[in-house]
Amino acid sequence: MIDLKGVIPVAPTAFTEDEELDLESQKRIVDYLVDAGSDAICVLANFSEQFSLTDEERESVVAATMNQADNRIPVCVTTSHYSARIAAERSQQAQEQGAAMVMLMPPFVGSSITVSEEGVLEYFKRVADNLDVPIMVQDAPMSPTPLSVELLARLAKEVPQVRYAKIEIAGAAEKIRSLVGAAGEALPGPFDGEESVTLIPDLEAGAQGTMSSGMIPDKLGQIVHKFLAGERAAAEEMWEDMLPMIQFENRQCGLRATKILMEEGSIIRSAKTRAPMQEVHPETRQQLLALAKRKDALILRWS
């Protein structure tokens, strides 16, 4: 199975102003993320607005990404679904399309339909059946189905395909540290998320990488690899320099930040998100652009 460390940015899903898929822009996103030194690319994640896509659109995005990546970079496909059967079908289809890894949240619907620990374990066993690529379990705050350290360790030990976990909850470093101790070699790939807003503490806790947005993967990849190479002071300095931009994305814009900067940098033709998601306030947009320009962000000058 593939061994990934570093940065795995989430590729946004590009839309036209009429909210149709823009696959030509989608291909340019892939080229930008490759040139930015990403260690892999993730598609159809929550930051990709996967919740607004039809099944047919999902297939189109994966196909366009795989074709454009052309084996230059591994691709992770998010295949989350409440149904174990559908999640397994999505995962197998992603594997057939060339995915190097799949990522899933535990099953849930809304805030009240959750699943027991034994149910989560059975779910991932069914998803993993006939699957050769590794699974990343996404521990995200939007899911009300709890993933305790003990459950995540059981998943890693009882489901061989579970090799990665994306921990993006409050207190991520503490959970990563406990998970590393509980799972050991069964889980070689703990990652953080949340736009890398707690990256250095998470790396200190044992994270091997970050699944960020596509905003500054060139910088985040350098930070992770420097830290893992023992260059802690240099990694800390780089992260602290980029932290205002990371925090602005995390607290002010969310998934819209990358799209705004990609539009400004002519990577995509439109920063459109699908309704009912609202556009950011014009002043917020200008503050984001000014900050990115001060940091000389690659996303603005790549094209």
The answer to whether residue 293 is catalytic is no
Of 293, 158, 281, 268, nearest in space to 214 by CA: 268
Of 6, 1, 14, nearest in space to 274 by CA: 14
Please give the Cα distance from 274 to 294 (Å, whole number).
Answer: 29
Cβ-contact 209, 39 below 8 angstroms: yes
Please give the Cα distance from 62 to 64 (Å, whole number).
Answer: 6
Among the listed residues 5, 27, 125, 166, the single catalytic one is 166
What are φ and ψ of residue 129, in 5° steps? -60, 130
User: Residues with catalytic annotation?
Assistant: 166
